[in-house]
Amino acid sequence: MMEMRKPIPVGEAVARVTNEARRLDEETVPLEAAYGRILARPLIAAHDVPSFDRSPYDGYAIRAEDSAGASGGERAVFRVVDHIGAGAVSSKTLGQGEAVRIMTGAQLPAGADAVVMLEQTQEAETVSAGERGSKAGESAVPNAFTIRKAFSPGENISFRGEDMREGEEILPAGSLIHPGTVALLATFGHTEVQAAKRPIVGILSTGTELLEAGAALEPGKIRNSNGPMIAAQLRRMGVPSRMYDAAVDRLEDMLDTVRRALSECDCLITTGGVSVGDYDLLPAVYERLGADVLFNKVAMRPGSVTTVAVLEGRFLFGLSGNPSACYTGFELFARPALLKMMGAERLYPLRTKARLEEDFAKANPFARFIRAVYDGRSVRPAGFNKSNAVSSIGRGNALIVLPGGTRGFAAGDIVDVLLPGMEEGSAVWEL
């Protein structure tokens, strides 16, 4: 008799997979290779940032007290005693009525407690002529200037530690290292960082009908689009993959390939052959391997046949052969598990709400994930949307989520939208 499968809710399937995932050991990664990895340890500020009081403007460092009472009629006069750019440190200590011409990012000289922007000054007659000229190669710098307002102590200063304090936790372990994180690491002089290892993921497309992308079409055959797609989905999340030659639907051959892949990879993603057809061999593969099947039917469309099994701590993701189902199964189940193996805290796709632009009348008892185009405000299905569609996965940038139920949806309804293309996702699964 044909096997009857009992569908489980999507949220439960997601939870079964992520509960099973274990973080891999950590390793040291050079800063240049850190983008896309996950912090294995919290990032603690190694020193104050900035590490010295500095000027946020091109201007003059002064003593605020020397500007007391300044006004348009009674301008305060300053003598320029030094001239520094970022990277230089003045050896001068400001005395009464003295100023240092200072550029953005330069350390405040001793005695200074305010900065006047260049635009707020007026060049003045030389106060003590000949005392200070410009060095060769430098543009002429006034020896003196006046200002028309009083400055308060601390005005226009970028204070030591205002951005980060030594010892402060800036990011928790489990954070994605994105370009901003790379900047942080470099700020603190980390030329390397501790990150959990990335899983090595094998990809095995199954199906006697499959031709490689470079092959000419033959009767009854199709080109393998799932394999390259999954490799790209992995690459999007910074995970390297190992592509196995597509397997024909012959049990012993497939078993050999799966065994070999499991000995070479931390996890194997297969596509196709997970349903109930005569040539759907993955259920038999799991059985022969003695793998523990976490589920083989999910209350979702597409991807209802998605199967996840575990053998000796290694995941076997049995994604559907149908391209839309394969895409969705990867993003919903494989991605969170792999992220957890990499030590990430935010495992799930980012979610937003948007206004549906057109009716979606087809009712379904299962939750639906519809490939869609999201423009920041509204969302519309990306065309032909059956489980076997390739066009809509190619056109879309988001997934509309319609909860299971009997009613259809109408234009104007506010719907949930998943954004799987985002660099970093969400810490919660809420659907």
Ligand X SMILES: Nc1nc2c(c(=O)[nH]1)N[C@H]1C(S)=C(S)[C@@H](COP(=O)(O)OP(=O)(O)OC[C@H]3O[C@@H](n4cnc5c(N)ncnc54)[C@H](O)[C@@H]3O)O[C@H]1N2
Q: What residue ranges bind Mg ion (CB under 5 A)? A: 275, 277, 280
Nearest to 234 by CA among 332, 331, 351, 346: 331
354 forms bridges with which residues in the sheet? 415
Among ligand MOO, ligand X, Mg ion, none, residue 227 binds (CB under 5-8 Å by kind)? ligand X
Shortest distance in whole angstroms from residue 218 CB to ligand X: 13
Comparison of 90 and 224: residue with beta carbon closer to ligand MOO: 224
- Give me the half-sphere count of Cα atoms (radius 13 Å) on the Cβ side of residue 412: 1
Among Mg ion, ligand X, ligand MOO, none, residue 174 binds (CB under 5-8 Å by kind)? none
Among ligand MOO, ligand X, Mg ion, none, residue 323 binds (CB under 5-8 Å by kind)? ligand X
Comparison of 157 and 400: residue with beta carbon closer to ligand MOO: 400
**Which residue among 305, 337, 347, 393 contacts ligand X (CB under 6 A)?**
305
Nearest to 264 by CA among 201, 207, 190: 201
- Give me the half-sphere count of Cα atoms (radius 13 Å) on the Cβ side of residue 243: 14
Comparison of 175 and 324: residue with beta carbon closer to ligand X: 324
Comparison of 51 and 387: residue with beta carbon closer to ligand MOO: 387
Among ligand MOO, ligand X, Mg ion, none, residue 224 binds (CB under 5-8 Å by kind)? ligand X
- From the list 248-256, 295-303, 346-354, 408-416, the region that binds ligand MOO by CB under 6 A is 295-303
Query: How far is it, in rounded angstroms, from Cα 303 to Cα 295?
Result: 12
Sequence letter at residue 367:
A
Comparison of 126 and 387: residue with beta carbon closer to ligand MOO: 387
Q: Which residue has the tokens 């520094």?
A: 84
DSSP string, 298-331: BSEES-TT-EEEEETTEEEEEE-SSHHHHHHHII
Number of residues that bind ligand MOO (CB under 6 A): 9
- Residue 328 near ligand X by CB under 6 A: no
The whole-angstrom distance between residue 408's C-alpha and the CA centroid of its chain comes to 34
Among ligand X, ligand MOO, Mg ion, none, residue 71 binds (CB under 5-8 Å by kind)? none
> For the window 384-403, what string marks contact with ligand X as x by the rule CB under 6 A?
---xx---------------
Q: What is the dihedral of CA 261, 265, 269, 273, to 10 degrees?
A: 20
Query: How far is it, in rounded angstroms, from Cα 269 to Cα 397?
Result: 23
Burial (CB < 10 A; 0-12, 13-18, 19+), residue 98, is buried
- Residue 36 near ligand X by CB under 6 A: no
Comparison of 207 and 302: residue with beta carbon closer to ligand MOO: 302
- Give me the half-sphere count of Cα atoms (radius 13 Å) on the Cβ side of residue 174: 11
Comparison of 151 and 295: residue with beta carbon closer to ligand X: 295
Give the pair of three-digit tokens for residue 110: 């001793």
Region 249-278 residues binding ligand X, contact defined as CB under 6 A? 271-277
Comparison of 175 and 304: residue with beta carbon closer to ligand X: 304
Nearest to 358 by CA among 405, 415, 421: 415
**Which residue among 233, 320, 328, 385 contacts ligand X (CB under 6 A)?**
320
Q: Is 415 helix (H, G, I), strand (E, B) or coil?
A: strand
- Residue 280 near ligand X by CB under 6 A: yes
Strands (E), 172-221: 192-196, 201-206, 210-211
Region 314-333 residues binding ligand MOO, contact defined as CB under 6 A? 320, 322, 325
Region 218-247 residues binding ligand X, contact defined as CB under 6 A? 222, 224-227
Q: Which residues are at the interface with ligand X (CB under 6 A)? A: 205, 207, 209-210, 222, 224-227, 271-277, 280, 302, 304-305, 320-323, 325, 387-388
Binding-site ranges for ligand MOO (CB under 6 A): 301-305, 320, 322, 325, 387
